[in-house]
């Protein structure tokens, strides 16, 4: 979407730029900017996810199914996410002291599962809710400092994103010390967004933008795991996973209807104020004009209506209103990223446990020539050679957890984990320079005449808002208290995730690029989760 809006004429351009910030999450399903979606399970969440070398309860089906065979009892486990809240604050985005914040709160089960051991085999079945975000808010901003052409911005925003895994697991004891297991999950990933935004000019006129975006993607996610018991006090674990898409569907629509006082279209009124024969007085009143842009896509095909005055070429003689058809800039695909998890669990004493996991998530990209053909004019647009929203960097994270039994039944757990961003670095100074250069040189798009009134137009993606527009490395801590008996267990866990819990590498303030006008604003992130968990042993 963003690459083509550079072709809109200047009278509407500022308003479009600004209200587009309220659509920047249209391609976002949950938190796509990080490799670790959350912590799952009664014991694993308290240990900050450092669980690959333990995995002896139903949540082990997610972390490492190879450890299921070493469970000492059959179990049924339920983890209820009583409260999950996320906030993203974009500092001074519209002006000094004019920040923009998105908030999500949701309640949903975290993990439900059962585990049964039959001799050398263990069988489990789990449902894991890996992603749930629910944004529903209305915002108003008056007189944004950085955009003097506007005196008001309003936005109604609704976004729902969910992903769940469901499936069986099988674990086999290869020897007294070595276990191997497989989980085969079906996953369903859904996202639905609606945004109604409006920017009001300081002069007469306004611009509205309505966005609808719905995506459904599903497939299979196998997990293979191994666990090795080195001694009574030390165990090692390793697991690998990857998503494989089965079906996908996405439908998007963007409708912009700017209205403005057209300086080139006047209502002329001539009046005779003096005696006959004296010159008449002529007044010129600009008329209210309206354009509209319509973009619709289903699957990988996009259609776009653009009025002739918004076609990004200097000579519009002989051109008509455009109807563009071609490859959509958005896709229903989600990253099919391999992930490796390995770690150890060590018992210095029977009451104290120390666990550690290293998590490597590979990078990802999809090459695709994205072009559009104007069926009303001899014009071809070339936008990119890849889906930028699917371009991920590899990440390396770790988690460390501790567990201590105060009594035979009362246990406390705690942990720390990192969650690095998989987005390319966003340089604030460089982005501002790119914007100034493109404005001074009028390099919104590059066009070349092909003769006979035809044009080839290239919309350089480096000059637009990055499709992956958040860059912030996170840290997290978990604290839990539990009560366990031979027959059941309960626990309460609190997880906090933000950008600078311990300031381990200086300031971790994020740097998102939300505006196409080239500015990158500091960002703060905070996520809190409370898990109430219960389990039955039999």
CA distance 243 to 225: 15
Q: What is the pTM assigned to this prediction?
A: 0.83
| pLDDT of 261 higher than 70 | no
Q: What are the pLDDT digits (tens) for 25-62?
A: 334 333 678 889 889 999 999 999 999 999 999 999 99
Provide, rounded to the nearest whole percent, the portion of the chain with pLDDT above 70.
77
CA distance 478 to 45: 7
Q: What are the pLDDT digits (tens) for 100-147?
A: 888 888 887 889 999 999 999 999 999 999 988 888 888 888 888 877
* Residue of 508 and 155 predicted with greater confidence: 155
Give the number of residues written for the chain. Answer: 538
Q: What are the pLDDT digits (tens) for 171-183?
A: 999 999 999 999 9
CA distance 318 to 331: 34
Backbone angles phi and psi of 430, in degrees to 5 = -65, -40
Query: Where do the domains of the chain lie, and which CATH numbers do they carry?
Result: 4-257+292-537 (2.40.160.60)
CA distance 440 to 434: 10
Terminal Cα-to-Cα distance of the chain (whole angstroms): 56
pLDDT of residue 470: 79
Picking from 25, 24, 12, 23, the residue whose alpha carbon sits closest to that of residue 199 is 12
DSSP states of 132-174: EEEEEEEEEEES-TT-TTEEEEEEEEEEEEEEEEEEEEEEEES
Picking from 348, 342, 350, 354, the residue whose alpha carbon sits closest to that of residue 228 is 342
Q: What are the pLDDT digits (tens) for 292-344?
A: 555 566 667 878 787 787 787 878 888 888 888 888 777 888 999 999 999 99
* Mean of the per-residue pLDDT values of the chain: 81
Per-position b or e across 438-463, b if 16+ CB within 10 A of its CB: beeeeebbebeeeeeeebebbbbbeb
429 burial via Cβ count (<10 Å: 0-12, 13-18, 19+): exposed
Q: Computed over its alpha carbons, how large is the radius of gyration of the chain?
A: 28
């Amino acid at each position: 979407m963003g690459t083509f809006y550079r072709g809109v004429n200047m009278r509407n351009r500022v308003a479009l730029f600004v209200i587009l910030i309220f659509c920047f999450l249209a391609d976002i399903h949950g938190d796509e900017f990080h490799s670790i979606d959350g912590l799952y399970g009664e014991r694993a969440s308290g240990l900050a996810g450092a669980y690959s070398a333990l995995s002896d309860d139903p949540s082990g089906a997610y972390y490492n199914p190879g450890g299921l065979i070493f469970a000492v009892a059959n179990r049924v486990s339920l983890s209820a996410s009583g409260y999950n809240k996320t906030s993203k604050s974009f500092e001074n985005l519209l002006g000094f002291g004019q920040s923009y914040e998105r908030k999500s709160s949701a309640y949903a089960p975290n993990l439900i599962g059962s585990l049964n051991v039959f001799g050398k085999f263990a069988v489990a079945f789990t449902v894991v809710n890996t992603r749930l975000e629910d944004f529903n808010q209305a915002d108003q901003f008056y007189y944004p400092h950085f955009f003097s052409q506007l005196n008001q911005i309003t936005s109604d925003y609704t976004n729902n994103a969910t992903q769940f895994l469901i499936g069986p697991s099988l674990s086999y004891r290869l020897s007294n010390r070595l276990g191997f297991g497989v989980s085969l999950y079906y996953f369903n990933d859904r996202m639905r967004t609606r945004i109604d935004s409006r920017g009001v000019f300081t002069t007469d006129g306004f611009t509205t933008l309505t966005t609808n975006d719905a995506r459904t993607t599903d497939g299979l996610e196998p997990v293979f795991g191994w666990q090795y018991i080195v001694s009574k006090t030390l165990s090692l674990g390793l697991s690998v996973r990857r998503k494989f898409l089965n079906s996908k569907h996405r439908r998007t629509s963007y409708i912009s209807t700017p209205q403005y006082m057209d300086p080139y279209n006047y209502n002329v009124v001539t009046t005779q104020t003096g005696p006959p024969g004296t010159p008449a007085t002529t007044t010129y009143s600009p008329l209210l004009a309206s354009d509209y842009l319509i973009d619709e896509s289903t699957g990988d095909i996009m259609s776009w209506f653009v009025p002739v005055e918004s076609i990004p070429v200097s000579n519009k003689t002989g051109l008509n209103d455009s109807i563009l058809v071609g490859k959509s800039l958005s896709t229903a695909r989600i990253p099919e990223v391999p992930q490796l998890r390995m770690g150890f669990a060590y018992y210095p004493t029977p009451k104290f446990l120390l666990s550690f996991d290293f998590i490597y998530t590979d990078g990802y990209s999809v090459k695709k020539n994205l072009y559009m053909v104007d069926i009303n004019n001899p014009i071809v647009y070339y936008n990119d050679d890849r889906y930028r929203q699917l371009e991920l960097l590899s990440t390396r994270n770790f988690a460390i957890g501790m567990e201590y039994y105060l009594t035979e039944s009362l246990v406390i757990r705690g942990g720390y984990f990192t969650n690095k961003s998989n987005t390319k670095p966003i340089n604030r100074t460089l982005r501002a320079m790119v914007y100034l250069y493109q404005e001074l040189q009028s390099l919104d798009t590059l066009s070349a005449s092909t003769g006979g009134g035809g044009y080839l137009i290239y919309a350089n993606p480096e000059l637009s808002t990055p499709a992956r527009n958040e860059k912030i490395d996170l840290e997290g801590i978990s604290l839990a208290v539990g009560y366990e008996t031979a027959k059941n267990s309960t626990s309460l866990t609190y997880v906090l995730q933000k950008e600078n819990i311990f300031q381990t590498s200086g300031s971790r303030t994020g740097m998102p690029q939300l505006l196409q006008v080239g500015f990158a604003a500091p960002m703060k992130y905070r996520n809190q989760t409370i898990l109430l968990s219960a389990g039955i042993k039999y």
